[in-house]
Amino acid sequence: MTGPAHIFDKPNRYIGKPEPRADAARLLQGRGRFVDDEKLPRMVHAAFVRSPHAHAKILSIDTEDARTSTGVIAIYTGADLAEHVTPYVGTLTHMAGLRSAPQHPLAMDVARWQGEPIVMVVATSRALAEDACELVDVDYDELPAAVDSETALDADTPVIHPEFGSNLAWERDVIAGDIDAAFAAPGVHVVEREFRFGRHTGVTLESRGTLCDYDPSEDQLTVYYSGQAPHMMQVIFSKHLGLPEENVRVISNDVGGSFGIKIHTYGDEIATAAAAKLLRRPVKFIADRFESFVTDIHARDHIVKAKMGITGAGTIVGIDFDDLTGIGPFSMYPRTSAIECNQVLNLTGAPYVMENYRAKGRVVFQNKTLMCQYRAVGHPIAMAIADGLLEDAARKIGMDPVALRELNLMADDSYPRTSATGMKLDDLSHKRALRKLTEIMDYQGLRADQTEARKDGIYRGIGFVSMVEVTNPSPMFYGIGGAPIASQDGATLRLDAGGALHVSSSITEQGQGTNAILAQVAAGVFGVDLNRVKVTTGDTATTPYGGGTWASRGAGIGGEAMLLAAQALKDQVLEVAGVMLQTGVEKLDIRDGAVTDLEGNERLPLADLARTVYYRGNELPNDLNPELIATRHYRVTDFPFVFTNGAMAAHVEVDTATGFVKVLHFWAVEDCGRVINPLLVDEQIRGGVVQGIGGALYEECHYSPDGQFMNATMADYMVPMASEMPDITIAHIETPTKTSVLGAKGAGEAGTGGAPAAILNAVNDALSPMGASIWQMPMTPERILTVLDKAAE
Amino acid sequence: MSRSIDIKLRVNGENVSATVPARLNLVDFLREELCLTGSHVGCEHGVCGACTLTVDGDTVRGCLMLAAQANGKEITTIEGLADSGQSTALQAAFTKRNALQCGFCTPGMLASALGYVNAGGAADRDAIRQHISGNYCRCTGYQSIVDAICDVIEETRT
């Protein structure tokens, strides 16, 4: 299906233009509305007593002193809230064999990670609630902890959920072709590496938080929620608090970063809603930074043993790997914590033609913070395995890594096709992306510089990644498995009496520019000036029903719904105009806020049309019933996901005396289909790259052997700062997806998915003259010095 | 712990008198008592920069100063910078460059940037990157912020 050309080419189109965001002004003047900015009458505040142990039996809880502390309104234990909140289990039916135990908002008999909420204190201020938390006496019997994923399945490791008999949450094997025969064939070289990907977390600058208000007169729960999926949370609050779905309203105003962190069920937030219901008044909970570190979902934590076979001429014959990943003591509800491992199994090597593939994934429980879907779920792992091995193989057979990719990347004219793992692929441009990348970075020039610099003892490296990204997911992602997560999204446009558009959408804004691109699509397709479009998102009471913004789906799915709705409204308006002007609709268009003829000559301002319809309907024929409002929904039907592709490169310098890595420059060529707003998408990709660099070089949740999170402060957990980040050059190839008229694919996670592999390859390229290589992220100075020392021995 | 202190200060040009708990920090006072919610709280220990504001013309972390210490001081928050027009050029440049996404770091980032520009800082990308390294942004790649600050410096000095 190809869209009518005029949507993208007509004079007042906005799709493809670098329009600044309308809501920037508000945020720049300190007029944002984040959850903690909301205040309600009779509002009280929650704080939590959290487990200081990774694994402990709760023997007793004494709240007597706390109850008499100044300002205390109520105190709840796990047992107290269990009477009002049904437990939840993070499994999905399409993740065969996945198991997890029931979770309660507050731990019941056993605490299973450091930071798990145990007791909730509600008081007239957060400070007073914290004072009272100090007076709660919890008697624990500390239990041995299962911390290390590598020993989680050993016989002498404590089993976190005894009813399961082991700490195995899920496993899956993917096999294609005959990998053993392929590796054993004559002339095939096999490279083998063990990759270690540390735990890191999202560190949204606005911590998690919620303000819950309950009105018993209408049995109505209103939740101000810093998150990405209001309708999903509506179902969860309804189901587990025993409220009719329609009596739960979830509102997301400004959200201070999310990145997949704020899309899950957190016990402290559920407890806050329960407390609001029990106290019949508003209760606010805003996580402090320590609480964020120990309770926000973590990500990655993979150990991968991987091999790639390659012929002397450079043909990849296959990949074989074993992925072990630790997810904490429960699978997160409702999206589950097996999705990341599943993505690694599905996506590794997806850009390359490959006959043979064998992958084993095991997901294990541990006494650490829960792990779940953070930006670019599984992608950094999958891309680092395939492209890390590819560049290792290139060194082994003495071939340039770009030439080796050229040889093995799927041809741009070979789609539709499937990957070795059976993923349906279409509309990709790996080879064009790689060629554009080597041009814009001046690859040959950098190689020459590298050679010269080495003579002076300066070790620079160039590393690449060719990647795919899962975007625009269909119902096959979550809905099929029973999760209350919409895969379709809706958009509504209403023409108001003054000729302006009020539009609403079920996708959400967390800074990506969702509202801006919705306005661009609406204005351009319908035909009004951009500043005459007002956008509402993030409210279950006022927007169409849908999934929200995650998995790089907002522009592709929500944008298409808006396009279809704008087209529908235009058709309705032209029908009315045709009657009013006594002209066939085929001779009319809408441009710049007026009905025009096809040459663009104004025939009827939209305000005149709308005022006639709304105020002076007597002037219209009785059989004309104008609907100046239109709603359309959209979902992806023919594919499980709409894949995008990209090619990225990093240029680094490694100080071999200190082990420090300086990223000199980074380039990303991204094919996210039709670009709706390059100004927004470019910086979003840069931000993604920076988070990817964070995971590759700095960010790690350090745990002690007994499960204590050692660096849970902003000072000790290192996120990238401006001074250590490079300038990042972005370029696009636009291969619109054929699954929609708009043709937009997602772009939000590409940088985070691809950058770690490019940085890994660049560091290893820099280290290659010393015969050293590193396969652990983050690549800290200490770890780099260790591999250099080892190579020197 | 419950001791209260009387303070008098000026906030965004208005006289303010209050009795505050001794332990209350400045940013919580501004947010909770004066409803000036533009200053954000990201880490509460002076690392992230989201609460950056101006005290007697100096760039200060609102979470590292007690409300009691603000007695007699002149405080300017993002709301004051915007209303007085001091940040107009930076606002325009941040908008044009899309130098913000979620907007949570933005008021603090803007305050730091204004400190740099007002001190006569050069349109030197490395120097700007150094200056704003006390302000974490988790959404952008920082590049657009550096671009925006450079734009303002170049526009005002040509």
pLDDT band at A8 (very low <50, low <70, confident <90, very high): confident
Per-residue pLDDT tens for A715-736? 999 999 999 999 999 999 999 9
Best mutation site among A130, A205, A730 for testing chain B: the one with the most B CBs within 10 Å? A205
Please tell me if the domain spanning B4-82 has the same topology as the one spanning B87-156.
no
pLDDT at res. A478: 87
Once rounded to an integer, what is the mean pLDDT over residues A471-478?
89
Give A528-567 pLDDT, tens digit per residue: 999 999 999 999 999 999 999 998 999 999 999 999 999 9
Q: Does B105 touch chain A (CB under 8 A)?
A: yes
Mean pLDDT of the A226-255 span: 97
B133 and A721: CB-CB below 8 Å? yes
CB contact under 8 A, A27 and B82: no
Q: Give contacts of A510 with chain B, Cβ < 8 Å.
A: 101-102
Q: In this predicted model, what pLDDT tens digit does every residue of A64-116 receive, in sequence order?
A: 999 999 999 999 999 999 999 999 999 999 999 999 999 999 999 999 999 99
Q: What's the whole-number mean pLDDT along residues A191-199?
A: 98
Q: Is B33 exposed, middle or buried (0-12, 13-18, 19+ CB in 10 A)?
A: middle
pLDDT the model gives residue A3: 38
> Quick one: pLDDT at residue A149?
97
Q: Which CATH number is B87-156's, of 3.40.50.11260, 3.40.50.1980, 1.10.8.640, 1.10.150.120?
A: 1.10.150.120
Work out the pLDDT band at A477, boundaries 50, 70, 90. confident
Q: Are the beta carbons of A685 and A751 closer than 8 angstroms?
A: yes
- Indicate the Cα dihedral angle A590, A596, A598, A600, nearest 10°: -100
The whole-chain average pLDDT of chain A stands at: 96
Name the band, by pLDDT with cuts 50, 70 and 90, for residue A4.
very low
Q: Count Cβ–Cβ pairs < 8 Å, chain A vs chain B.
A: 183
Q: Which helix (H) or strand (E) holds A181?
A: helix A179-184
Q: Are A550 and A478 in contact (CB under 8 A)?
A: no
3-state DSSP of B3-67: CEEEEEEEECCEEEEEEEECCCEHHHHHHHHCCCCCCCCCCCCCCCCCCEEEECCEEEECCCCEH
Instruction: Grade residue A638 by pLDDT with cuts at 50, 70 and 90.
Output: confident
Chain B residues near residue A715 by CB distance under 8 angstroms: 43, 45, 47
Q: Residue A536: what pLDDT?
A: 98
pLDDT of the residue at A631:
98
Restricting to A residues 481-510, those with a Cβ less than 8 Å away from any Cβ of B are: 510
Interface mutation vs chain A, best among B2, B102, B109, B140, most A CBs within 10 Å:
B102
CATH top class, domain B4-82: alpha beta
pLDDT value for A744: 95
d(CA A396, CA A646): 25
The mean pLDDT value for A270-276 works out to 98
Tell me what the mean pLDDT of segment A489-497 comes to.
98
pLDDT of residue B157: 78
Distance CA A289, CA B45 (A): 9
Give the distance from residue A686's alpha carbon to the nearest chain B alpha carbon, in angstroms: 5
Q: Which domains does chain A have, with CATH numbers?
A: 6-32+488-634 (3.30.365.10), 35-143+207-255+262-295 (3.90.1170.50), 376-472+640-786 (3.30.365.10)
Say yes or no: A714 contacts chain B, CB-CB below 8 A. yes
Cβ-nearest to A27 among B50, B103, B140? B103
Residues A25, B91: C-beta atoms closer than 8 Å:
yes
Question: What is the rounded average pLDDT of the residues B10-37?
Answer: 98
Inter-chain residue contact A206 with B42, CB threshold 8 Å: yes
pLDDT tops 70 at residue B1:
no
* pLDDT of the residue at A467: 98
pLDDT of residue A17 exceeding 80, the answer is yes
**pLDDT over 80 at A449, yes or no:** yes
Q: Per the CB < 8 Å rule, is B103 touching A24?
A: yes
Contact A714 B137 (CB under 8 A): no
| A728 vs B82, B141, B145: nearest CB | B141
The residues pairing with A140 across neighbouring beta strands, listed in sequence order, are A58
CB-nearest to B140 from A27, A687, A723 is A687
Domain assignments of chain B as residue spans, ordered by start: 4-82, 87-156
**Phi, psi values for residue B129, rounded to 5°:** -60, -40
Q: pLDDT by residue (tens digit) across A585-635?
A: 999 999 999 999 999 999 999 999 999 999 999 999 999 999 999 999 999
Is the CB of residue B11 less than 8 Å away from at least one CB of chain A? Answer: no
**A686 and B94 in contact by Cβ < 8 A?**
no
User: Which residues numbered 235-264 in A keep a CB inside 8 Å of some CB on B?
Assistant: 254-259
Tell whether the model's pLDDT for residue A9 goes beyond 80. no
Interchain CB contact of A360 with B (< 8 Å): no
Q: Check: CB of residue A652 under 8 Å from CB of residue A775.
A: no
Q: What is the ipTM metric for this complex?
A: 0.97
Q: Quick one: tokens of B100? A: 């913000």
Q: Name the residue of chain A whose CA is nearest to B78's CA.
A: A30
Mean pLDDT of A28-32: 97
Residue A634: closest CA among A567, A566, A565? A565
A37, A680, A723: residue with CB nearest B98? A680
Cβ–Cβ contact A188 with B under 8 A:
no
Q: How many CA atoms lie within 13 A of A709 on its CB side?
A: 30
| Residue A655: pLDDT over 90 | yes
Residue A5 has pLDDT above 60, yes or no: no
Digit-coded pLDDT (tens) for A642-653: 999 999 999 999
Residues in chain B: 158
Asked if pLDDT for residue A23 goes beyond 60, the answer is yes
Nearest to A27 among B35, B97, B100 (CB): B100
Mutate to test the interface with A, among B81, B112, B143 (most CBs of A within 10 A): B143
A chain contacts of residue B126, beta-carbon cutoff 8 Å? 723
Can you tell me the mean pLDDT for A6-28? 86
Residues within 8 A of B (CB atoms), A 622-681 only: 679-680
- Residue count (chain A): 793
Percent of chain A exceeding pLDDT 90 equals: 96
B contacts of A724 (beta carbons < 8 Å): 133
- Show residues of chain A in contact with B40, CB under 8 Å: 34, 205-206, 256
Count of C-beta atoms within a 10 Å radius of residue A433:
27
Q: B79-91: b or e for each residue (b if 16 or more CB lie within 10 Å)?
A: bbbbeeebbebbb
B35-83 pLDDT, tens digit per residue, is: 999 999 999 999 999 999 999 999 999 999 999 999 999 999 999 999 9
Best mutation site among A683, A690, A725 for testing chain B: the one with the most B CBs within 10 Å? A683
Q: How confident is the model at residue A6 (pLDDT cuts 50, 70, 90)?
A: low
Mean pLDDT computed over B98-119: 97
DSSP code at position A210: E
Chain A residues closer than 8 Å to B105 by CB = 205
Q: Calculate the dihedral angle through the C-alpha atoms of A294, A300, A305, A311, rounding to the nearest 10 degrees.
A: -160
* Closest CA–CA distance from residue A697 to any residue of chain B (Å): 15
Cα separation, A74 vs A761, whole angstroms: 55
Residues 6+ apart with CB under 8 A from A317: A182, A183, A185, A188, A309, A310, A311, A354, A355, A356
